[in-house]
């Protein structure tokens, strides 16, 4: 909060232009956050948030803006906590941010994601990360499984070795961990390319060393994030996206000269959906979700996966 007591992180929260008990002003405050570019302090150094919003609007290709989860959990919740303290200590008459939230269903950042092009995929799956070495690291396997399964990052990170089994003679991933909704529980056939690259050898190796997850390091990092947040009495959203997906989005994509803000780890999912459409899968099925489509197409896919 600035010395004038007029704004938090650059956006006024009291007064004519700020957040107050007036519904219209509260709406303007939320709308301003919805227009805020992500990582604005790095992209627009020395600029206030309102200035960054204006500069971003003026760009030929504006940077991606904050999503609803970030606004609710990192901006509005912290502002509300601060103002609750102020109210409890007679510094402010009340908490004008109480109950102010952005509707998550009204703004789904995944809807803005676009699939990778063939050129993009050539860049992503090239040396040095994908050199001729036979050993595939967790990062390599994560990208490959995302591409060939269309699974979400949280689903991949939580895969149990015991959840990879044969169904009707075809190896499948059984998605059964905590997901976005109950409909996310499904079977996803393992693509023959993953088998050719040695997925079963990796599973055997992990079992040999006593692991129970396909991505033991990634899963452990995600669990640690959840536990650390719980210790601070906070809830962490998308804990598994903070690791391999974040590295992929912020470090790896720029390194291979892919700078489209709408192309991220989740784009692998959209890439598979596009592939299903090109293969003749009805849009009414593929639009639901890649995994659901695969499940509905079973046993046809299971008998043709090899």
Q: Which of 107, 138, 170 is the last residue of a domain?
A: 107
- CA dist., res. 1 & res. 4, Å (int): 8
Whether 112 maps to a domain, the answer reads no
Asked whether 281 and 297 are in contact (CB, 8 A), the reply is yes
Write down the pLDDT at residue 246: 92
Whether 225 has a pLDDT exceeding 80, the answer reads: yes
Segment among 180-194, 208-222, 261-275 with least mean pLDDT? 180-194
Same domain assignment for residues 129 and 219: yes
Count helices and strands in the chain by DSSP H and E runs? 17, 5
Write down the pLDDT at residue 181: 47
Predicted TM-score of the model (pTM): 0.62
Mean pLDDT estimate for the chain: 79
Local structure of residue 259 (DSSP, 8 states): -
Whether 78 has a pLDDT exceeding 70, the answer reads: yes
Write down the pLDDT at residue 178: 60
| Per-residue tokens: 282 | 């009805």
Is pLDDT larger for residue 261 or for residue 117? 117
Angle at the Cα of 223 from the Cα atoms of 222 and 225, rounded to 5 degrees: 65
Q: What is the total count of domains within the chain?
A: 2
Write down the pLDDT at residue 2: 40
Write down the pLDDT at residue 277: 78
Q: What is the pLDDT of residues 179-203, one digit of tens each?
A: 544 455 688 999 999 999 999 999 9
Q: Which of 107, 136, 157 is the last residue of a domain?
A: 107
Q: Of the spans 67-71, 171-175, 235-239, which averages the highest pLDDT?
A: 171-175
Write down the pLDDT at residue 5: 34
Whether 113 maps to a domain, the answer reads no
**Across 161-182, average pLDDT:** 81
3-state secondary structure of 295: helix
Write down the pLDDT at residue 105: 54
3-state secondary structure of 190: coil
Write down the pLDDT at residue 98: 80
Write down the pLDDT at residue 15: 44
Q: What is the CATH number of the domain that holds 202?
A: 1.10.443
| Per-residue tokens: 44 | 């627009």
**Across 224-248, average pLDDT:** 85
| Per-residue tokens: 105 | 């269903």
Write down the pLDDT at residue 219: 95
Same domain assignment for residues 98 and 163: no
Angle at the Cα of 254 from the Cα atoms of 248 and 258, rounded to 5 degrees: 95
Element (H, E) at 165: strand 164-167
Whether 126 has a pLDDT exceeding 70, the answer reads: yes
Asked whether 158 and 151 are in contact (CB, 8 A), the reply is no
Same domain assignment for residues 257 and 155: yes
Residue 135 is part of which domain span?
Answer: 118-304
Q: Which of 82, 107, 132 is the last residue of a domain?
A: 107
Write down the pLDDT at residue 255: 94
Write down the pLDDT at residue 285: 59
Same domain assignment for residues 74 and 12: yes
Whether 275 has a pLDDT exceeding 60, the answer reads: yes
Q: Give the N- to C-terminal CA distance of the chain in Å, as an integer.
A: 60
Whether 252 has a pLDDT exceeding 70, the answer reads: yes
Write down the pLDDT at residue 304: 39
Distances (CA, A) of 90 to 1, 20, 83, 131: 17, 17, 10, 63
Same domain assignment for residues 42 and 164: no
**Across 97-115, average pLDDT:** 67
Same domain assignment for residues 51 and 140: no
Order across the sheet with 186-189: list the strands.
Answer: 164-167, 170-175, 186-189
Asked whether 121 and 147 are in contact (CB, 8 A), the reply is yes
Same domain assignment for residues 65 and 141: no
Same domain assignment for residues 177 and 239: yes
Same domain assignment for residues 27 and 168: no
Whether 73 maps to a domain, the answer reads yes
DSSP symbols for 129-155: TT-S-S---HHHHHHHHHHHH---HHH
Is pLDDT larger for residue 8 or for residue 90? 90
3-state secondary structure of 12: strand
pLDDT band at 14 (very low <50, low <70, confident <90, very high): very low
pLDDT band at 144 (very low <50, low <70, confident <90, very high): very high
Write down the pLDDT at residue 87: 85
**Across 201-229, average pLDDT:** 94
Same domain assignment for residues 102 and 182: no
Residue 124: CB partners within 8 Å, gap ≥ 6?
Answer: 116, 143, 252, 253, 256, 258
Asked whether 38 and 64 are in contact (CB, 8 A), the reply is yes
Hey, CA dihedral for 232, 238, 244, 250, is it positive or negative? negative
Write down the pLDDT at residue 72: 83
Distances (CA, A) of 217 to 158, 161, 210: 11, 14, 13
């Amino acid at each position: 909060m600035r010395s004038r007591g007029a704004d938090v992180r650059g956006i006024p929260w009291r007064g004519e232009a700020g957040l107050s008990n007036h519904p219209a002003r509260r709406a303007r405050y939320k709308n301003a956050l919805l227009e805020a570019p992500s990582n604005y302090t790095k992209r627009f150094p020395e600029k206030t948030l309102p200035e960054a919003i204006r500069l971003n609007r003026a760009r030929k290709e504006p940077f991606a803006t904050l999503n609803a989860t970030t606004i609710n959990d990192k901006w509005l919740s912290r502002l509300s906590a601060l103002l609750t303290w102020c109210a409890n200590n007679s510094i402010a008459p009340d908490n004008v941010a109480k109950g102010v939230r952005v509707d998550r269903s009204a703004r789904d950042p995944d809807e803005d994601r676009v699939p990778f092009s063939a050129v993009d995929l050539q860049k992503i799956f090239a040396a040095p990360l994908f050199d001729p070495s036979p050993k595939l690291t967790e990062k390599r396997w994560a990208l490959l499984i995302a591409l060939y399964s269309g699974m979400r990052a949280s689903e991949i990170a939580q895969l149990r070795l015991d959840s990879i089994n044969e169904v009707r003679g075809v190896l499948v991933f059984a998605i059964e961990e905590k997901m976005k909704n109950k409909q996310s529980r499904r079977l996803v056939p393992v693509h023959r390319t993953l088998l050719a690259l040695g997925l079963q050898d990796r599973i055997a190796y992990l079992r040999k060393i006593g692991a129970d997850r396909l991505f033991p390091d990634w899963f452990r990092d995600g669990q640690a994030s959840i536990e650390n947040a719980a210790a601070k009495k906070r809830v962490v959203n998308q804990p598994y996206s903070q690791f391999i997906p974040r590295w992929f989005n912020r470090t790896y994509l720029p390194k291979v000269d892919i700078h489209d803000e709408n192309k991220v780890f989740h784009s692998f999912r959209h890439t598979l959906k596009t592939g299903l459409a090109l293969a003749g899968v009805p849009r009414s099925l593929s639009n639901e979700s890649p995994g659901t489509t695969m499940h509905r197409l079973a046993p046809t896919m299971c008998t043709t996966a090899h």
